[in-house]
Amino acid sequence: MSKVALVKEGNIAIISVQRPEALNALSREIVDEMDVLIEEVKKDADLRCLIFHSEKNFAAGADIKAMAGCNEEEAKAFGFSDVYDKIAELPIPTIAAIEGYALGGGMELAMTADMRIAGESAKMGFPEVTLGIFPGAGGTIRVPKLVGPAFAKELIFSGDAVSAERALQMGLVNRVVADNQVLEEAKKLAGRIAKRGPVAVRMVKEVITRGLEEPDVNKGAAMEAEQWAKLFNTYDQKEGMKAFMEKRKPVFENR
């Protein structure tokens, strides 16, 4: 039976893991199912934002029981990075809406998203070292980029889970809301993003991603300027500025 669901609400998609009996721990099969749904999201030109949200617990990590007996080759095959990288590279913005536990491979999934919203009793961390391993699905790369090396090392070396409030202080999450408001807040944010010029939103996501990988600020700024100017070939730029001058709301056409 399928353990991952994709729901579309207008131009917003929500992907959820449905394995409550194991606190939504992620098996290779679950991540493979997610992969199929990500392909569907990629093909749907009407979608403007993707939310990851699972009831009660975001995901208590990769499935330890499935991983326990792996040898080196099997451990490589278990890896989620192929799918996680695909999620990080999605052209539309993504939001992780975190309730309950987001641990290990679950937190690494949340880290592939562009933004994170946490419920006030969420617990987040990287307990891998308590199991004799370390985060291997992008955590060692994405966490230091997000919160800096010192907080990343504190989280990863200690294996301690942190509260939503502490995660907010570190910059691990964008905002903290009441537990029962997590998905609503994510939908509200997604809804606002969905109203903006879609070509500009997609392009600026790519510019930010490429900019973060570009160590030379001047080269980064040159790339930004080039992409920015390209928007003046789009219908949506003409419509957005015309609507401003005509004092009405723009009607973007994603072109």
Q: Which residues contribute to the site for ligand DAK (CB under 6 A)?
A: 22-23, 25, 60-65, 75, 78-80, 101, 103-105, 127-128, 131, 135-137
Bridging pattern class, strands 115-119 and 175-177? parallel
Among 39, 128, 214, 239, the active-site one is 128
> How many Cα atoms sit within 13 Å of 254 on the Cβ side?
10
Residue 231 CB burial class (10 angstroms; 0-12, 13-18, ≥19): middle
In this complex, which beta carbon is closest to ligand DAK, that of residue 43 or of residue 65?
65
CB of 8 to ligand DAK, least distance (A): 28
* Angle value at C-alpha 4, between 176 and 47, nearest 5 degrees: 70
CB of 92 to ligand DAK, least distance (A): 25
Among 39, 72, 99, 108, the active-site one is 108
CB of 129 to ligand DAK, least distance (A): 10
Farthest CA pair distance, the chain: 65
In this complex, which beta carbon is closest to ligand DAK, that of residue 106 or of residue 250?
106
Residue 254 CB burial class (10 angstroms; 0-12, 13-18, ≥19): middle
CB of 126 to ligand DAK, least distance (A): 8
Beta carbons of 91 and 207 less than 8 angstroms apart:
no
SS3 of the chain: helix, strand, coil, percent, to 5 = 55, 15, 30
CB of 56 to ligand DAK, least distance (A): 11
Q: Is 128 a catalytic residue?
A: yes
Six-digit token string for 17? 């893991």
In this complex, which beta carbon is closest to ligand DAK, that of residue 152 or of residue 194?
152
Bridging pattern class, strands 123-125 and 101-103? parallel
CB-based contacts of 164: which residues, under 8 Å, 6+ apart? 98, 118, 119, 120, 121, 122, 123, 124, 173, 176
Residue number of the CB atom closest to ligand DAK:
104
In this complex, which beta carbon is closest to ligand DAK, that of residue 25 or of residue 164?
25
In this complex, which beta carbon is closest to ligand DAK, that of residue 64 or of residue 231?
64
- What amino acid positions are annotated as catalytic residues? 108, 128
